[in-house]
Chain A
């Protein structure tokens, strides 16, 4: 968090000093700020882990967009073709997320991808109940969900 604020501040400083108030220039400033933070990370404890987190976050964004597009195509295909290929069902997914914040994040990400909808969390918060549209390959689906959870949690730990 401190790292992100410093990165933003360095980007703003760049914008002020170069005198070009545009979004693109802010982006350039933040890239330079990021490089600065990478260079001074070994000397400051409060920055620990921030430089490694940024590429992970970008990687997660790419992964999520890919999942989103794939799942959307699949649901779309099933809607426009007359026979139903779907096999909907409710499955229980054991959660690796522990805090409320993490569970919220994981549940929302799962809800956001088409084909899966988080229904409820068990009272002891160990299991997330998910309504899935395509259960023909349950193992594959569970593996995908687990991978998404794993990648999402990595961003915050």
Chain B
């Protein structure tokens, strides 16, 4: 029974990684590619690590597998966000089938100001913050 679960986890994990690779080749633009690679690959690693923890059934291995899962969950979305954001603002073309883009009209490429579209009269002007890099 446990062998069956382990095998299933490893096969599904490997399939997800294969899908991520195929998606990376087939998908049309940067942002959709980020969807395929980071998430499917992250889930694939998580499933495989679960299988590893089950196979060895030792505290030391399970703890490390668990730590790997936690760090993957912490880092994968951050990496996807940073790459996607940088690509978008650098001006990589969106796919021609993109149906809507609510960000572009709110973004000012000269001042790098990003409006929310919910401004009232008094807070319409951007307040400089200490955390601003420039």
Interface residues of A (CB under 8 A from B): 22-23, 68, 71-72, 75-76, 79-80, 84, 86-92, 94, 107-115, 117-127, 129, 131, 133, 135
Contact A124 to B103, CB < 8 A, known contacts A79-B27, A111-B77: no
Contact A68 to B43, CB < 8 A, known contacts A80-B19, A117-B84: yes
CA distance A40 to B47 in the complex (A): 38
Q: Is the CB of B23 within 8 A of A79?
A: yes
CA distance A110 to B77 in the complex (A): 8
A-B contact pairs, 27 of them (CB 8 A): A68-B43, A72-B16, A72-B39, A76-B19, A79-B26, A80-B22, A84-B28, A84-B97, A89-B101, A90-B102, A91-B100, A92-B106, A107-B81, A108-B77, A108-B78, A111-B80, A115-B35, A119-B81, A119-B84, A122-B115, A122-B117, A123-B126, A124-B118, A124-B123, A126-B118, A129-B102, A131-B35
Q: Is the CB of A117 within 8 A of B31?
A: yes
A-B contact count (CB 8 A): 138
> In angstroms, how far is the closest chain B Cβ from the Cβ of A79?
4
Q: Is the CB of B32 within 8 A of A86?
A: yes
CA distance A95 to B62 in the complex (A): 37
How many B residues, CB 8 Å from partner? Answer: 51
Which of B80, B89, B103 is A92 in contact with, Cβ under 8 Å? B103
The reply on B116 being an interface residue by CB < 8 A is yes
Contact A122 to B31, CB < 8 A, known contacts A89-B99, A91-B102, A107-B81: no
Query: Can you name 4 extra interface pairs (CB under 8 A) apart from A84-B97, A91-B102, A117-B31?
Result: A111-B81, A114-B36, A124-B116, A129-B102
The reply on B59 being an interface residue by CB < 8 A is yes
Residue of A nearest to B25 (CB): A79
Q: Is the CB of A88 within 8 A of B98?
A: yes
Q: Is the CB of A118 within 8 A of B81?
A: yes
CA distance A129 to B36 in the complex (A): 19
Main secondary structure of the interface of A (DSSP, over half): mixed
Q: Mark B111-127, 1 if CB is under 8 A from A, else 0.
A: 00111111100010010
Q: Mark B20-63, 1 if CB is under 8 A from A, else 0.
A: 00110011110110111011101100000000000000010011
- For chain B, residues 67 to 94, give those with C-beta under 8 angstroms from any C-beta of chain A: 73, 76-78, 80-81, 84-85, 88-89, 94
Q: Is the CB of A23 within 8 A of B95?
A: no
